[in-house]
Amino acid sequence: MSVDWHPNEENIFVSGSMDRNLVIWNKENKEPIKIYKSSHGTSKIKWYHKNPKYFFSSYQTSNPNASMWNLDIDNMPEYIFKGHKEVVSGFCTDKSEKGLITCSNDGFCYLHNLDSGFRPVDNLCTNFTRFTPFGDIISFNEKKPKKMVK
């Protein structure tokens, strides 16, 4: 449904499709570099030129949000930008590339601050305590990643 060339790497591009896959490709290898599973089919996809470690996507059906994906985080957008009541039909960064402008068939345009979107990782449970088969207690507490957009 959508593709965009990497802003700095001439052989790298990203694609989004109805099968819910967001794929980073190298045109020389003809094999995916990385595959992200999205919650919905993708209609639009675009690299973030200011920091090409990120790319944006919007969804084809029933999801009125835009997402910002981080190449260092697997299978989950780093930021989700909410507000629309209908599917996001277009988006771009503003001239400063500090904001994401989204539009929709709901008749609204929104300017989102890039580092103030909803972060799914902030709602993950990263602490747990379990018993081993030997009766030992294991406890795990992982620090969540800090905001990385700059």
CA angle (139, 141, 144) in 5-degree steps: 160
Provide the whole-model pTM: 0.79
pLDDT(144) > 60: no
Q: What is the pLDDT of residues 111-140, one digit of tens each?
A: 999 988 898 877 766 666 767 777 777 666
pLDDT(25) > 80: yes
Sequential DSSP letters for 40-87: S-EEEEEE-TT-TTEEEEEESSS---EEEEETTS-SS-SEEE---SS-
CA separation for the pair 83, 129 (Å, rounded):
37
| Burial (Cβ within 10 Å: 0-12, 13-18, ≥19) of residue 2 | middle
Give the pLDDT of residue 58.
92
CA separation for the pair 5, 99 (Å, rounded):
21
Tell me the pLDDT of the chain averaged across its residues: 86
Give the pLDDT of residue 41.
86
Q: What is the pLDDT of residues 80-116, one digit of tens each?
A: 999 999 999 999 998 888 899 999 999 999 999 998 8
pLDDT interval class at 142 (50, 70, 90): low
Asked if the 2-119 domain carries CATH number 2.130.10.10, the reply is yes
Check the CA dihedral 5-9-12-15 and report its sign: negative
